[in-house]
Chains A and B, each alone.
Chain A
Amino acid sequence: MSGGANLPVAEQAGNPRAGEHGALSCGKALTFSGGTQADFDRLLSRYPTKQSALLPTLWLAQREWGWISREAVDYVATLLDLAPAFVWGVVTFYTMYNRAPVGRHLIQVCTSISCHLNGAGEVYTECRKRLGGLKPGETSSDGKFTVVEVECLAQCDKAPAVMVNDDDYAVITKDKLDSFLEGLK
């Protein structure tokens, strides 16, 4: 629950869903490893204000820990002299910062117009079905796959386009889905 779960307030007690979407805790304090710290220092030298390094620093955090936890937000806020709430506001504005751990293969299916015209909606549904009926954004129980729907990947000529982690895959139609998923495993 945001706003301090430690505040004894009746309103909060009666709300079973309180805190469902707040920043999740990873359960431990975080600091950058040496290499990442060096990258971070290099970053700072590229901008006239510390705050400008926020997006790249969050990328470093995601590279280091895989997702942006509550502790990561706090840590990044300290690094850049920002309010943690501000950092959280930025994290939630952008879609690419993972707010929970994701599977080893983060399958991002583009469903925007050009891909839609080429059957991307079906690919998205089918892909989740073949991975054991995953809900949008859900991670498979073996921790291997997370399937999400994303907006235009600027691969409209290769529709339906799919991105897995940082790699682009072209023309993943429904019939190619099996071999595509097989290739990932």
Chain B
Amino acid sequence: MSGLEPIQPVLLARRGKPNSASLETYLADGGYASWKKILGGLASGEWTRAKVTDLVKASGLRGRGGAGFPCGMKWTFVPPTEKRGDKPVYLLCNADESEPGTFKDRLLMEVDPHQVLEGMMLASFALDVKHAYLYIRGEMVHAAEILNKAVSDLYAQGLLGTNVLGSGLDLEITIHRGAGAYICGEETALIESLEGKRGQPRIKPPFPAVSGVWDCPTVVNNVETLSCVKHIVDRGADWFKSIGRNEKNTGPKLYCVSGHVEKPGVYEAPTGIPWEELLALAGGVRGGRKLKAVIPGGSSAPMLTAAEIAGVPMDFDGLVAAKSMFGSAGIIVMDETTDIPKAVTNIAKFYAHESCGQCTPCREGTPWMHKMLKRIVTGEGKRSDLDLLLQIAGQMGNGMTICVFADAAIAPVLSGVTKFRGEFEAYIDKSTQPEFETPAPSDITAAVADRPAAGIHS
């Protein structure tokens, strides 16, 4: 059986049901069965922490937040009890969904909050977590209210708290609201923010699994990832693996399709659904127009032209092969009427606004790129700007900064300018700005070589 056959919705199965967010309907639909099953199977030894972790590992579940890191493997990085001493382990659910073009986690939390909460509870069990936090974006006020209601219902029903259902197990869940910072979706920035600080990513190592929030071992998982965990424990790893293109891209996946399509929205499909099928689910390009470009994984993913994305399997490895990335599966569709330079400028503005400001290349580079792009689209560009843009972008990423924000910021610029250079040049042709001699890179290299040796720092 091919894993790509259309599936019944799993994560979104309860979308559209009346009162889908309430605990009653969730329980009525068989919710928390796994949680009760595990708590019940504790004493007999039928369920152990390792068993849950092994299930998740076997399922091949990859993180749905953007990096696609195997979830089970991430869990095994937490040091065993004897090594971590009396330090507790924390689970943080990353609900800081801020990547432009991504809106699946919000839907999951608004429609079916108990699904992610059960996923958190199961993961907490697997990781020996006593207190889990869900860090939700400040802007998602409505979702936060729903989650808070859901959590207090769980406490009222005894499904959370001390000695849950008489099993001897304690578990607390706290909903923590952010306050408007894209970077807090980066796991170490999220940790800093949860600690009450500015959301500035931390240097790694130490990795959060070893020393994260409050210097304790910490696992950070995305909302969709944890929602998947619930279904893996419900239905088994084999079921999960049977869905998806291959064993490295498994399970049901939520695709956020927005931009110039007839029916923008979240679509659930097997991981690796071919591009054309996904586009068809979203009703095709708006108004029957021609496709121009697609950003396939949230605004941080390199842009693909219509030709490049043709036939590409929409999953982690498929999009890497197409020299882009799957990211958070925020698929932004741009039709033939799209002004690419303006779109790229818009994205550059986003990154110039959201950089946390600690690393020099990102703090200085993102506004620089935005200023140049803005100048180009307002008719003051220079021909040399385009090469300079590419060079600046080239010296911001790849280890030049603490986190990968800069890599995300340069991807749309690099891909946009390279693939649609003609459109940028058309703006520049209309420019009134006098040309200005920018030294060629080779001249600079030569000058650098002539420079006296370093050795003046005290």
Measured CB to CB, the residues of A under 8 A from B are 46-49, 51-56, 58-59, 80, 82, 89-90, 93-97, 108, 111-114, 116-118, 121, 150-159, 163, 166-168
B199 is an interface residue with CB less than 8 A from chain A: yes
CA distance A156 to B354 in the complex (A): 18
Q: Is the CB of A153 within 8 A of B343?
A: no
Q: Is the CB of B332 within 8 A of A113?
A: yes
Measured CB to CB, the residues of B under 8 A from A are 97-103, 105-106, 137-142, 172, 174, 176-182, 193-199, 214, 256-260, 264-266, 295, 299, 330, 332, 334, 338, 342-343, 346-347, 350, 353-354, 356
Least Cβ–Cβ distance between B143 and chain A, in angstroms? 9
CA distance A116 to B347 in the complex (A): 10
Least Cβ–Cβ distance between B287 and chain A, in angstroms? 13
**Which listed residue, B181, B256, B350, touches A156 by the CB 8 Å rule?**
B256
**Which listed residue, B98, B174, B295, B338, touches A151 by the CB 8 Å rule?**
B98
Q: Is the CB of A156 within 8 A of B199?
A: no
Residue of B nearest to A62 (CB): B179
**Which listed residue, A55, A116, A158, touches B193 by the CB 8 Å rule?**
A55
12 contacts between A and B (CB under 8 A): A47-B174, A96-B179, A112-B101, A117-B334, A152-B99, A152-B100, A152-B182, A154-B105, A154-B106, A155-B103, A156-B100, A156-B101
Q: Is the CB of A95 within 8 A of B179?
A: yes
**Which listed residue, B97, B179, B257, touches A94 by the CB 8 Å rule?**
B179
Q: Is the CB of B194 within 8 A of A52?
A: yes
Chain A CB within 10 A, most for which of B103, B179, B265: B179
Set of chain B residues within 8 Å of A117, measured between Cβ atoms: 259-260, 332, 334, 338, 343
Given contacts A152-B99, A157-B264, contact A113 B350 (CB under 8 A): yes
Chain B CB within 10 A, most for which of A49, A150, A151, A158: A151
Least Cβ–Cβ distance between A157 and chain B, in angstroms? 4
Q: Is the CB of A113 within 8 A of B299?
A: yes
Residue of A nearest to B347 (CB): A113
Set of chain A residues within 8 Å of B214, measured between Cβ atoms: 48-49, 52
Set of chain B residues within 8 Å of A114, measured between Cβ atoms: 100-101, 258-259, 264, 332
Least Cβ–Cβ distance between A26 and chain B, in angstroms? 20
Set of chain A residues within 8 Å of B350, measured between Cβ atoms: 112-113, 151-152
Q: Is the CB of B139 within 8 A of A52?
A: no
Set of chain A residues within 8 Å of B193, measured between Cβ atoms: 55
Least Cβ–Cβ distance between B348 and chain A, in angstroms? 10
Least Cβ–Cβ distance between A30 and chain B, in angstroms? 19
Set of chain A residues within 8 Å of B97, measured between Cβ atoms: 154
**Which listed residue, A46, A53, A89, A168, touches B198 by the CB 8 Å rule?**
A89
**Which listed residue, B101, B138, B198, B342, touches A152 by the CB 8 Å rule?**
B101
Set of chain B residues within 8 Å of A157, measured between Cβ atoms: 103, 256-258, 264-266
Set of chain B residues within 8 Å of A150, measured between Cβ atoms: 139, 180
Least Cβ–Cβ distance between B192 and chain A, in angstroms? 10
Closest A-B pairs by Cβ, 6 of them: A54-B196, A94-B179, A95-B180, A156-B258, A96-B180, A157-B264
Residue of A nearest to B196 (CB): A54
Interface class of chain A by DSSP: mixed
Given contacts A90-B197, A93-B199, A159-B264, contact A56 B176 (CB under 8 A): yes
CA distance A116 to B345 in the complex (A): 11
CA distance A83 to B61 in the complex (A): 43
**Which listed residue, A46, A53, A113, touches B343 by the CB 8 Å rule?**
A113
Least Cβ–Cβ distance between A133 and chain B, in angstroms? 21
Least Cβ–Cβ distance between B352 and chain A, in angstroms? 11
Set of chain B residues within 8 Å of A59, measured between Cβ atoms: 177, 179
Least Cβ–Cβ distance between A110 and chain B, in angstroms? 9
CA distance A157 to B281 in the complex (A): 14
Set of chain A residues within 8 Å of B174, measured between Cβ atoms: 46-47
Q: Is the CB of B332 within 8 A of A166?
A: no
Set of chain B residues within 8 Å of A82, measured between Cβ atoms: 196
Given contacts A46-B174, A51-B196, A114-B258, contact A151 B179 (CB under 8 A): no
CA distance A46 to B151 in the complex (A): 13
Given contacts A46-B174, A96-B138, contact A154 B181 (CB under 8 A): no
Set of chain B residues within 8 Å of A116, measured between Cβ atoms: 342-343, 346
Q: Is the CB of A113 within 8 A of B198?
A: no
CA distance A54 to B343 in the complex (A): 36
CA distance A153 to B346 in the complex (A): 15
Set of chain A residues within 8 Å of B197, measured between Cβ atoms: 51, 54, 90
Set of chain B residues within 8 Å of A166, measured between Cβ atoms: 141-142
Least Cβ–Cβ distance between A182 and chain B, in angstroms? 23
Residue of B nearest to A49 (CB): B214
Chain B CB within 10 A, most for which of A46, A95, A156: A156
Residue of B nearest to A95 (CB): B180
Q: Is the CB of A93 within 8 A of B196?
A: no
**Which listed residue, B179, B334, B346, touches A97 by the CB 8 Å rule?**
B179
Set of chain B residues within 8 Å of A108, measured between Cβ atoms: 139
